[in-house]
Structure 1
């Protein structure tokens, strides 16, 4: 049975969140620079390339042999790709028709990892994927042999799962469907997916359960986030979007210890809110994109938003340039660690402290060396503090678009993913390194 909880964030709560000043302490600090020499093969978003457009990565950590760990990424209509720690492709899974009577061929948008889910009487690790063309979640069991497995991923999605945001297939085909995704495992034996809606401000949670020897979900609950904001000057700001589109959220990550959800609203900023949805605590806007509060109008000819007043300053922060995209958490001891957000508009990555009021630390950009290119327009990202392969101090994996280089056909739409050592990031930004399990219960 599906249960829906509609809980509106009040305008008053949004205004209160805006009264805090932006992170002025890092306003004049230039982004640090780190390097990468490890990137996955290029994906081409055209018929010859299987319409593969990289979007979001997840890092699966092998429980005993870190060198068997893997990176699993979405390629939208191109399905999924699985890579080893040297960025070599291990498996390419096409986007297949969803197992439902009205199923369409999928479009896989975001992915995260659930550890120790019960299936057929045993615990399994699962890649959990949002499918935009079917407005649902899909599930892929991970072979415990990891990078040495012949078939690392196998789909185990139960048949005829409910739509997450829509009443029927006709509504699904309008594509206001499942978008961003993160896994939440609050306690042993309990696993949820947190999913955002494309073109809307809705966030949903769904409990992952075994159904007929496969994996499905139930108990879908929803929360509506703000789409307009009262400003200190008394005006109401509505982020400029295409007609009929609301300011959507995509990047999400859950602090597995505290149940805090971090969610990036692309044209607004970074939110934190307490799970479960509807628990009573008000969402807090941690940081705002630079052009927050600047009134724009949509130009139907150019399909761009233009400011009403080109000299307007707005009420934005200093680290995020729209779109605010991928989000993930680097765990440290206790409540310490960092929240990472990709700032797609200026090709940088913002870092906030995990504890307390999530104070901003600063930002960095990634430069390619030894044949790898610079990171541009990053969408999804994933980070782990655990040793994986040669990355003994942890690893960041990030989307890169467009992928460039001597061997890349720059006449085609290109993407890929780059691996960045956490040790390099930590040195460049004077951050902590801790490779213990920390407070992420999935590794205990």
Structure 2
């Protein structure tokens, strides 16, 4: 990875402190028994989107990451924008009905592989040459770029319009060969600095530990591009309390990647889920020293990779992991309350639960509880192996007057033969708040 001068200085400044930060077990985890997902309260969804199938029959759509856009003028007409990987973007109304489908641009390569969108987030009130606009921003993994879509709820043909500058550069790759290797733009979080009014995207890299800070820049013709400010690499190897070094098991050449990310705009902190490690807190400008606020239960467990099965066989657990979340940790989202408090919500994919951490730094992001999304009466099932989540604590008309949580379901039921079935579940936010208050 090539870094700018400012990026090198940022990495040099923190690299010696990262390993030490990773060793510290969060105070809230010490001296407590492991939290069993079975003991957590359950919430049920109110609606679900049509099923998406990842198959070899021309579908190749796999639900991944949602974002909630509130229509301030008519909250009942708000939208959920979501990625479907090779299926591109899907836009749903509050009844979970499909409003618009946008294909991912085909990737450029020897096999003319399909494009692939990974994560999505929103920006509000970005000033374009044509006026202020709300944008949906997605990581285009097939091209190692970001793509931008202007949101206009009443536009004929659908609410999203592509406003990506065609000259936008790759985020990480130096050439097409690197892009073809698919170590490209992956996780995504957007952020507007209230002090300067500048807007940014933080982007992680697939199969690597790097995160890039990009400043988002409107162009003269109403498009949007970006420039890289700096990058930072999280650790891939960790020293355990017994003095040994540990890295999570994975395919040869893969490093523990980050996907789920969210920025708290009040204090400018980025929360990043390193899938097999835990949740990091670091400054959104990628300066300073990251702190590991919680670890997955599997932290420190040795493993052996089997090339035949392409799976890892775990060894004995030395007991250095956390107590609340299981790998992979993904789907980070910020639940803001009216009094300024709130939670960082994280999907604990390994045990099908969601964990809530206090967003107040004074409380050291203390664990506040968790919940499951389970089957409702009738045909609605719950959420398993959740990849992505989004929450909005704001009135959304008569359907969700107390706000909305949207979660990906990695195993929609009932299944359909050998095809993977995924979709998104819509949950009343008041149910979540009640569960966290228990």
- When the two structures are superposed, what TM-score results if normalisation uses the length of structure 1? 0.90
Q: Matched residues in 1 for 2:411 and 2:23: separation?
A: 34
For residue 114 of structure 1, give the secondary structure of its aligned residue in structure 2: strand
Residue 411 of structure 1 and its aligned partner are, at CA, apart by 2.7
Aligned residues: 420
Aligned residue in 1 for 2:334: 329
Q: Deviations over 1:215-251 (max 9, x none)?
A: 1111342111110111111111111111000000000
Aligned residue in 1 for 2:424: 417
Q: Matched residues in 2 for 1:249 and 1:234: separation?
A: 25
Moved more, 122-131 or 295-304: 295-304
For residue 428 of structure 1, give the secondary structure of its aligned residue in structure 2: helix
Q: Would you identify which runs of 4 or more consecutive aligned residues in structure 1 move more than 4 Å?
A: none
Residue 104 of structure 1 and its aligned partner are, at CA, apart by 7.4
Residue 283 of structure 1 and its aligned partner are, at CA, apart by 0.4
Residue 207 of structure 1 and its aligned partner are, at CA, apart by 0.8
8 Å contact from structure 1 (residues 26, 360) kept in 2: no
Aligned residue in 2 for 1:218: 227
For residue 44 of structure 2, give the secondary structure of its aligned residue in structure 1: strand
Q: Matched residues in 1 for 2:183 and 2:65: separation?
A: 19
Q: Matched residues in 1 for 2:131 and 2:64: separation?
A: 31
Moved more, 49-58 or 337-346: 49-58
8 Å contact from structure 1 (residues 112, 128) kept in 2: yes
Residue 333 of structure 1 and its aligned partner are, at CA, apart by 4.1
8 Å contact from structure 2 (residues 107, 142) kept in 1: no
Aligned residue in 1 for 2:128: 119
Distance change in 2, residues 1:58/1:322 (3 Å): same
Residue 299 of structure 1 and its aligned partner are, at CA, apart by 1.6
- When the two structures are superposed, what TM-score results if normalisation uses the length of structure 2? 0.91
For residue 430 of structure 2, give the secondary structure of its aligned residue in structure 1: helix
Residue 152 (structure 1) aligned to one of 153, 159, 169:
159
For residue 298 of structure 1, give the secondary structure of its aligned residue in structure 2: strand
Q: How does 1:21-60 map to 2 (within 5 A)?
A: 21=26, 23-24=29-30, 25=32, 27-28=34-35, 30-48=39-57, 50-60=59-69
Q: Matched residues in 2 for 1:62 and 1:365: separation?
A: 28
Residue 28 of structure 1 and its aligned partner are, at CA, apart by 4.3
Q: Deviations over 1:94-113 (max 9, x none)?
A: 112489xxx97531100000
Q: Deviations over 1:414-440 (max 9, x none)?
A: 110001111001112207xxxxxxxxx
2:73 aligned with 1:64: yes
Distance change in 2, residues 1:54/1:265 (3 Å): same
2:322 aligned with 1:317: yes
Aligned residue in 2 for 1:350: 355
8 Å contact from structure 1 (residues 113, 128) kept in 2: yes
Aligned residue in 2 for 1:205: 213
8 Å contact from structure 1 (residues 270, 286) kept in 2: yes
Distance change in 2, residues 1:28/1:320 (3 Å): closer
Residue 294 of structure 1 and its aligned partner are, at CA, apart by 1.2
Aligned residue in 1 for 2:275: 266
Q: Deviations over 1:243-263 (max 9, x none)?
A: 000000000000111110000
Q: Matched residues in 1 for 2:328 and 2:149: separation?
A: 29
8 Å contact from structure 2 (residues 129, 219) kept in 1: no
Q: Deviations over 1:136-173 (max 9, x none)?
A: 1000000044xx86411010110121111111111111
8 Å contact from structure 1 (residues 118, 189) kept in 2: no
Structure 1: stretches of 5+ with no match in the other structure:
432-444
Q: Deviations over 1:363-417 (max 9, x none)?
A: 1111121211121110010011111241111111010011112xx5243111100
Distance change in 2, residues 1:28/1:322 (3 Å): closer
Q: Matched residues in 1 for 2:100 and 2:372: separation?
A: 29
Moved more, 133-142 or 48-57: 48-57
8 Å contact from structure 2 (residues 88, 103) kept in 1: yes
For residue 77 of structure 1, give the secondary structure of its aligned residue in structure 2: helix
Structure 2: stretches of 5+ with no match in the other structure:
none
2:412 aligned with 1:403: yes
Aligned residue in 1 for 2:23: 18
Q: CA RMSD in A?
A: 2.2
Residue 363 (structure 1) aligned to one of 358, 362, 370:
370
